[in-house]
Amino acid sequence: MAQISNRKTVILGGSRGIGAALVRKFAGAGDRVVFTFAGSADAAAALSAETGAEAIRVDSADRRALTAAIAAQGPIDLLLVNAGTLVMGDPLESDADAIDHMIDVNVRAPYHASVEAARTMPDNGRILIIGSTNGDRMPFAGGGAYAMTKSAIQGMVRGLARDFGPRGITINAIQPGPVDTDMNPAAGPMAETMHGFMAIGRHIHASEIADYAAFLASPSAAMITGSMQTIDGGFGA
């Protein structure tokens, strides 16, 4: 990736999975990367040592802590909101507090973080939020609440694109299909079912999501905003 001079990049939820791939990609391109984590202190420290990125513990479910951390990092050129949780299961049996926590992390945090970052973001800055192909399609039972959180991101980026567009700031959702991470292992019990929904029946590599993010964060993507960028191997086709 061509280096964009001295870019300040903040990645929410960077310690593992897709987030760690984003840290590697953008730190490797020469960005000044700061990433957050919640529970995985050892993984965060190891990634920091590997990449030179700075790791800070910030729980995305804590709005005040999150917005204070964003404000302290500003001005931010590129904000990547990756932190997310997945609660699946029979809605009649689900723990309501776990559902609300998922809404806090997957919906409230991306909104408040994006708005806070935009306060001081320079013109032509970039905001990318990791949604999911499940924002468009939820082809099996037990995923209603998760799909709701990812559909909410769609409305968020459409609306905020209008607010930030006059400054050249773009905001988009990246909507992955199954990605091989702790959340959704390629060898997990649901893998075969998910591959059955895909045109290309394999899990996506986290690095493939990071490669796509790098394009969307580049000057070449200046006119892509308010959009859903789906990378799902045809899961939703």
Return the DSSP state at 223: T
Distance between CA 24 and CA 47 in Å, rounded? Answer: 8
Count residues binding ligand NDP (CB under 6 A).
Answer: 30
Which residue in the set 36, 48, 114, 225 belongs to the binding site for ligand NDP (CB under 6 A)? 36
Q: SS3 of 17, please?
A: helix
CB of 79 to ligand NDP, least distance (A): 14
127 binds ligand NDP (CB under 6 A): no
Which residue in the set 10, 11, 18, 33 belongs to the binding site for ligand NDP (CB under 6 A)? 18
Which residue in the set 34, 70, 83, 138 belongs to the binding site for ligand NDP (CB under 6 A)? 83
CB of 196 to ligand NDP, least distance (A): 15
182 binds ligand NDP (CB under 6 A): yes
40 binds ligand NDP (CB under 6 A): yes
Q: Which residues contact 93 (CB under 8 A, 6 or more apart)?
A: none
Rg (CA), the chain: 17
181 binds ligand NDP (CB under 6 A): yes
Residues 186-225 that bind ligand NDP (CB under 6 A): none
**Cβ of 174: how many Cβ atoms within 10 Å?**
25
Burial string for 38-70 (b: 16+ CB within 10 Å, else e) reads bebeebbeebbeebebebeebbbbebeebbebb
Cβ atoms of 172 and 125 within 8 Å: the answer is no
Distance between CA 171 and CA 180 in Å, rounded? Answer: 25
Which residue in the set 4, 8, 10, 17 belongs to the binding site for ligand NDP (CB under 6 A)? 17
Which residue in the set 60, 67, 172, 225 belongs to the binding site for ligand NDP (CB under 6 A)? 60
State yes or no: is 146 an active-site residue: yes
125 binds ligand NDP (CB under 6 A): no
Cβ atoms of 190 and 89 within 8 Å: the answer is no
Let me know the angle formed at the C-alpha of 205 by 200 and 206, rounded to the nearest 5 degrees: 135
Looking at the Cβ atoms of 4 and 14, the one nearer to ligand NDP is 14
179 binds ligand NDP (CB under 6 A): yes
Looking at the Cβ atoms of 53 and 130, the one nearer to ligand NDP is 130
Active-site residue, selected from the candidate residues 26, 146, 212, 235 = 146
For ligand NDP, the binding residues (CB under 6 A) are 13-19, 36-40, 59-61, 82-86, 105, 130, 132, 176, 178-179, 181-184
